[in-house]
A and B are shown apart, each in its own frame.
Chain A
Amino acid sequence: MLRVEHLQKKFSFTVPRFTLKDIQFHLPKGYIMGLVGSNGCGKSTLIRTILGLYQMDAGKVYFDGKKMEVAEEEIKESLGVVLDQGLFEKRWSAKKNASVYGPLFRKYNEETFERYLKEFGVNPDIALKKLSKGNEIRFQLAFALSHDAKLFVFDEPAAGLDKEFRKELLEIMRNLVIDGKRSVLVATHIMEDLEQSADYITYMDKGQVLLSDDIEHIKDSFILVQAEEYKINLLPQQYVLYRKKGTYGTTALVAKDAEYALDGAYQKHRPTIEDLMYYYTKSERVDKMAWMRNYCGHHVQERGV
């Protein structure tokens, strides 16, 4: 559905300078991919570059095998975008925004749009700037649904919103992909939500893709080990990413390859994506990026997904 190859984008005028380096990932049709990483790692920049809001310096973006540069118009027909700070005209109502931008889409259906607005409980006649953030997100979603988008791109849709709305949004995302014809790319730092819904994870750090794989494979590649400190020290250190001392022992994130060394004295847990991010961020290994890539397996496209 969406394939990004060797994407590069350099911002020379930002302080400090920021670069998206050699971004590669593949989101298959019918799945949800979470784009995760700490603040400032480049998630939103990547999304904006993929969407063509920023001109990329190098690389290729394919949608259903079509290259963005060549078939931009056709691809954008199938894109539904929901951004944290929407790009619609804030002074206009949901209805007016839809009446201006909707007809630019061949498959736009006004009745569908109004039906979704009603379903989501959004007042169509109020200026967007007067809507709550949740309702603005709902409006963007209704608009995306009304032109029959195939790829939904969400950028921090639930940032700063309550749990109830986040649950509703997750439900919507899951329903979007249920027929296997649509895909969702969602950038977020709320790991809890992703654990429940995402099929794939693309983990970014400092403008680079650290991992891009299916969530189960990522989780299966590591073990969260709890034991007394001396036992953790006995483990082959090349497999240990980071250890955290606690009151009742030490917890460490180790590569699956270290499993042979884990006897009954070690408590083994399956790490969550949040655990992975935490241990990765805390790790002081100079080669942590290479370590993570090495032990996780490989990028999705290398596995032929």
Chain B
Amino acid sequence: MGTWLQDFRMFRKNLFTEHVKDAYGFLFFLIWFPTYFIGLFRNSNPDTVWDWSDMVLISVLIMFLLVTIMKHQLPQQVHLCPVSRTNRENYAKHVFWFRYIGAGILPIGSVLFMGLSGQIHPLETIVAIVTVAALDYVVNYTVYLRYLSVDISFLGVLHMIYVMVMMLEVFLITDLGSENHVNFVIPMIFEALIVATNIWGVIHFYRKYYRISVVAMAGYERAQLENTNRERSIKGRNSR
């Protein structure tokens, strides 16, 4: 326990703050804020149509996003340090929840705001919130898995596809206030396909990691037992 706390403090003090400053701040301010404001702008101007300048903006944002994603993994040197898998997992969990809440709060908040103010139908509001929350969860879960290994050949690709879709999704969802509801249906279908593929990916990786964790746990218990036995022997020897 002491070691876990020690490690976590170390992470929090150094790696985590550096990481957040670099990557999360970048993601948050450069991606979600413009998205949010553009969405609000669209909602206040329902007659506006998408034009090439929107597409350029989306492309630039996606580019920024991709650069940001590449930073989103545990600093690789940590994998070479004596930090146990459990500690890395704990750290990744904190990052996961931080990202999950951070990334979800604006799109969910804006949809909720639109729903409560009557701009969109309550059913659409619920579907949109559930969709964003689920998508946010899966996206960040892939990030979480990437924190546990630098083996990104598979997860990296999944994650990129995912975030690109999510990016478009946020644009389209925040555009719900307009009359053009077809925007809502198309990404939903697209998303369902990708969610299905990625859930398979997550299950696949989860099973693999779970197996390793179980093995690690068994080793830990054995070590504890050996320690107890050793202590008993030493006590016995001293008493004789």
Name the prevailing secondary structure of the B interface residues: helix
| B 157-171 to A, binary, CB cutoff 8 A, 1 in contact else 0 | 100000000000000
| B10/A69 in contact, CB under 8 A | no
Return the CB mask of B78-92 against A: 1 if under 8 Å, else 0: 111111110000000
Are A69 and B216 closer than 8 Å at their CB atoms? yes
- Residues of A near B18 (CB, < 8 A) are 89
Return chain A residues, CB-CB under 8 Å to B84.
72-73
Q: Number of B interface residues, CB 8 Å?
A: 29
Asked whether, in the complex, the Cβ of B82 is within 8 Å of the Cβ of A69, the reply is no
* C-alpha gap A52/B85 in the complex (Å): 11
Interface 9-mer from B51-59, B136-144, B145-153, B175-183: B145-153
Chain A neighbourhood of B82, CB < 8 A: 72-77, 104-106
Known: A69-B215, A69-B216. A87 touches B77 (CB 8 A): yes
With CB as the reference atom, state the residue of chain B lying closest to A18.
B153
Residues of chain B with a CB closer than 8 A to A126's CB: none
**Known contacts A13-B154, A67-B219, A100-B14; A73 and B77 CB within 8 A of each other:** no
A79 to B81 alpha-carbon distance, docked (Å)? 8
A102 to chain B, nearest CB (A): 9
Measured between C-beta atoms, what is the minimum distance from B197 to chain A in Å? 14
B79–A53 CB distance below 8 A: yes
By a CB distance below 8 angstroms, the chain B residues around A97 are 77
Min CB–CB distance B88 → chain A (angstroms): 10
Contacts of B224 in A (CB 8 A): none
Map CB proximity to A onto B1-31 as digits: 1 under 8 Å, 0 otherwise.
Answer: 0000001001000110010000000000000
In the bound complex, residues from chain B placing their C-beta under 8 Å from that of A87 are 75-77, 79-80
In the complex, the chain A residue whose C-beta lies closest to that of B222 is: A70
As a 0/1 sequence over residues 94 to 119 of chain A, the CB contacts with chain B under 8 angstroms (1 = contact) are 00010111011110000000000000
Residues of B within 8 A of A73 (CB): 82-84
Cβ of A159: which chain B residues have Cβ within 8 Å of it?
Answer: none
Residues of B within 8 A of A132 (CB): none
Report whether B208 and A55 are in contact in the complex, using a CB–CB cutoff of 8 Å. yes
Q: In the complex, which residues of chain A have a beta carbon less than 8 angstroms from the beta carbon of B78?
A: 101, 104
Whole-angstrom distance between the alpha carbons of A160 and B7 in the complex?
Answer: 36
What's the least CB distance linking A63 to chain B, in Å?
Answer: 12
How far apart sit A74 and B218, CA to CA, in the bound complex (Å)?
15
Which of B77, B79, B85, B208 is close to A89, meaning CB atoms less than 8 Å apart?
A: B77
What residue in chain A is nearest B208 (Cβ atoms)? A55
CB pair B151 A51 closer than 8 Å: no
Best-surrounded residue of B77, B215, B216 (most CB of chain A within 10 A): B77
Residue pair A70, B215 in contact (C-beta under 8 Å)? yes
Q: Render A10-25 as a binary contact track against B, CB cut-off 8 A, 1 for contact.
A: 0111100000000000
Q: A266 in the interface, Cβ–Cβ < 8 Å?
A: no
Q: Is B85 a contact of A88 with CB atoms below 8 Å?
A: no
Kindly state whether residue B212 has any CB partner on chain A within 8 Å: yes
**CB contact between B150 and one of A12, A54, A99 (< 8 Å): that residue:** A54
For this complex, 23 residue pairs linking A to B, each with C-beta atoms less than 8 Å apart, are A13-B153, A14-B153, A51-B80, A53-B76, A54-B149, A55-B151, A55-B208, A69-B212, A69-B219, A70-B222, A73-B82, A73-B84, A76-B80, A79-B80, A87-B76, A87-B80, A88-B77, A100-B15, A101-B77, A101-B78, A105-B81, A105-B82, A106-B82
Which 7 pairs, one residue from A and one from B, show the smallest C-beta to C-beta distance? A70-B219, A87-B76, A76-B82, A104-B81, A73-B84, A13-B153, A87-B77
Q: A53-B80, A53-B149 known; 18 other A-B pairs, CB under 8 Å?
A: A12-B153, A13-B157, A14-B153, A53-B76, A55-B149, A69-B219, A70-B216, A70-B218, A72-B84, A72-B216, A73-B82, A87-B76, A87-B80, A97-B77, A99-B14, A100-B10, A104-B10, A104-B83
